[in-house]
Structures are given as structure tokens and as C-alpha cells.
Structure 1
Amino acid sequence: MLEIHKNIVLDENQQPIAVLIPIAEFEKIEEIIEDYGLAKLMEESENKERLSKPEALKYYQSLKQHHVES
């Protein structure tokens, strides 16, 4: 399980309003979510048109590139 080192930000009334985590841990969480989303998409499209492995890799890279540019 991914260990997350978090710092809780409190407001003037000592109520939690935000959480700070190291960027490396945030990036790992993003990667896990993207992988999960890709797996779900693949599962949902099981009966639909299939891509060859090279086509799938090219498509996945384009998605990652688009995410980086946004």
C-alpha cells in the first residue's frame, strides 16, 4: 500500500481545510488513478473494436501527452 505523508492545513478556527502531500506521492497517486481508469476503459470496451498492441501503445502515449499539455 502506498504510504502518504500528509500535512493538514487548518483555518483560524483550527478546522482542517486542506491537505499537503509531497509532489512525488501526488504523481504516484495520479499514475495509479490513470492506470485504474485505463483498465476500466479496457474492460468496458472488451466487446468493441480492439487495437493492436502498437496501436494501443500509440494511443495511450497520445493520452499521456495530452494530459501533460493541459
Structure 2
Amino acid sequence: MNLLKFRIPSASSYGDWLRRYDKTGLNGFNQVIDKINKKALMLDKNTEYTLLVDPTLVEANKRDVL
């Protein structure tokens, strides 16, 4: 997210947003994800990627994470 200059909302913020907009908001959410992914891939010089089956975000303030 630093590369893209974006701040990541907390998991509870995402949950609140999804509950507020129910299924009608998912299309907009998917469009946002698609735009972020497109921008990230355009900025990245890598040509090979690993697909994670369980891309769970784990927030931690550990040095190893950095």
C-alpha cells in the first residue's frame, strides 16, 4: 500500500461498509479492488506472481513483518 500511496482501512471498517451497502455495494467494492490491482501491477516490474489461496491480512507490529 505504501507503493500505491493508499491507506488500508481496518477490517472492521470494511465490515461496516459491506453491512451498510449489503450486496448492492459489492459491485462497487469489486471495481475498487480491480482498479487497485491494475495500478499495482502497472507499477510492479515483476512478471511472475504467486497466487495465495488464503490471502488473510494479519496486522502485526513485529519487525519480521516489515
TM-score range, shorter chain: 0.3 to 0.5
Structure number with higher relative contact order (C-alpha < 8 Å, ≥ 6 residues apart): 2
From the CA coordinates, give the structure whose radius of gyration is larger.
1
Higher strand share: 1
TM-score normalised per structure 2:
0.43
